[in-house]
Every structure is written in C-alpha cells, then in structure tokens.
Structure 1
Amino acid sequence: MSKYELAVIVSAKLEEEERANVVEKVKALIERFNGNLTDVDEWGKKRLAYEIQKMREGYYYFFHFEADTTVPAELESRMRIMDGVIRYLCVKQEA
C-alpha cells in the first residue's frame, strides 16, 4: 500500500452543512475502495490563484490516506462529477 495526499477545493458558495457532506462523501469514497484514511487537514477559506467557475475563494481540505495504486484513479473519476468540488489533486507521497 502506498501513501497518498488528496487535495480538494470545495465551493465557497456552499453552506457549512453542505461542505461537511462533501467532506464525508470523500471520506466514504476512500474507505469504499479499501483506503486507510490517516488524517484530514482543513485549511479553511482561501483565495484562489485565479477565478474558477466565477468564484474567487474556496475551502481547502487535505486527505492523507494509504491505499492500493488503483485507488487514486477511481477517486478522481468520481471527484470529477461530485457537486461542490471545484478542484482536486491526488499525489503519491514519498516514503
């Protein structure tokens, strides 16, 4: 199993309860593919480097997990269509 970090930017237009639902969906996706979630960092509301979908701000979340090498592709295919997610990036961490 490899270690990964998934960065997710959630729309700032969502209410706090809706953002919490998006975070729970991401956690559930990781666990659904037998990933072991080790940590979730919430950085809060930050200004985006450039405007995305007419938004200038977003909420940043970082999920640290261990999983098989096929899991990031599965996560990204589902994150692409998830409501409330502006951007995402999954990277493998060096040991």
Structure 2
Amino acid sequence: MKAYELLFFVDPAIDEETRAAVSKRINATVAEGNGTVDNVEEWGKRKLAYEVEGLNEGDYTLVDFHADPQNIAELDRVLRITDAVKRHMIVCRTDRD
C-alpha cells in the first residue's frame, strides 16, 4: 500500500451533519479498498484564491491515508459525485511509504 494525502473543501455554510457524512463516505470508500485512514486534520475556514461556485472561502480538511493505487480512481469518482465537496486533490506521498 502507498501513502496518500487528500485535501478537499466544502461550503462553510453547510451543517455539521452533512460535513460528517462526507467524512464518513471518504472513510468507507478507503476501507472498502482495504486501505486505512491514518490522520484527519480539519483546517477550518480559509479564503480562496479565486471564487469557486460563488464561494470566496472554503472549509478545508486534510486526510492522510494508505491505499492500493488501483483504489484511488474509485475514491476520486466518489468525491466528484459528492455535491458537498467543491474541490479536492489526491496526492501520492512517497516520503511516507
């Protein structure tokens, strides 16, 4: 398994229940591929460099996890169809393998 880092942001106006559902969905998707979530850091509200879907700021979360490379495409697909996630980025961390 390789180490990965996922950074995503949601609209800061959404409720905590929806935000928790997004995190639960990410954890479930990683676990389905026999991966493990190592750490979750909630960065909170940050100003965006440019407007995204009418938003000037986003509520960021950083997730460190280990997964098989073939399961990353499924996680990316799940994040794309999750309406609450406005933008996301998954990066392979070769320094943490």
Category of TM-score, reference length = shorter chain: over 0.9
Task: Indicate the SS of the match to 2:23.
Answer: helix
Shift, 1:13, TM fit: 2.3
Aligned counterparts, 1:3-82, within 5 A: 3-82=3-82
Per-residue displacement from partner, 1:25-58 (whole Å, max 9, x unpaired)?
1111111221111100110111111101101111
One-letter identity of the residue aligned with 1:51: E
One-letter identity of the residue aligned with 1:30: V
Shift, 1:23, TM fit: 1.4
Task: Indicate the SS of the match to 2:81.
Answer: coil
TM-score, normalised relative to structure 2: 0.91
| Greater helix content | 2
Q: How many residues are aligned here?
A: 95
Structure 2 gap segments, 5+ residues each = none
Structure 1 gap segments, 5+ residues each = none
Task: Indicate the residue corresponding to 1:90 in structure 2.
Answer: 90
